[in-house]
């Protein structure tokens, strides 16, 4: 039996939503052990003068707790 914890992270990219997700997953992997899944909860765009400046995602990261 395993027990998992879920935490929320925000990640931002100037390139794309996909890049923001990838950056968030890579960062979570460096800080948390046993990451087993990620759910994209929200996507948001920052806009300035009619142009997209940032892609933001809110991620729910699941990781299994160690004994």
Distances (CA, A) of 39 to 27, 35, 43, 59, 67: 15, 12, 11, 6, 24
Model-level pTM?
Answer: 0.89
Residue 48, domain CATH: 3.30.1660.10
Domain that holds residue 56: 4-64
Number of domains, the chain = 1
Tens-level pLDDT at each residue, the chain (67 residues)? 789 999 999 999 999 999 999 999 999 999 999 999 999 999 999 999 999 999 999 999 999 998 7
């Amino acid at each position: 039996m395993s027990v998992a914890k879920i935490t929320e992270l925000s990640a931002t990219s100037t390139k794309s939503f996909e890049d923001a997700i990838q950056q968030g997953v890579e960062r979570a992997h460096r800080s948390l052990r046993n990451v087993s899944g990620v759910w994209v909860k929200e996507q948001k765009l920052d806009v300035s003068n009619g142009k997209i400046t940032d892609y933001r995602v809110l991620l729910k990261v699941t990781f299994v707790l160690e004994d």
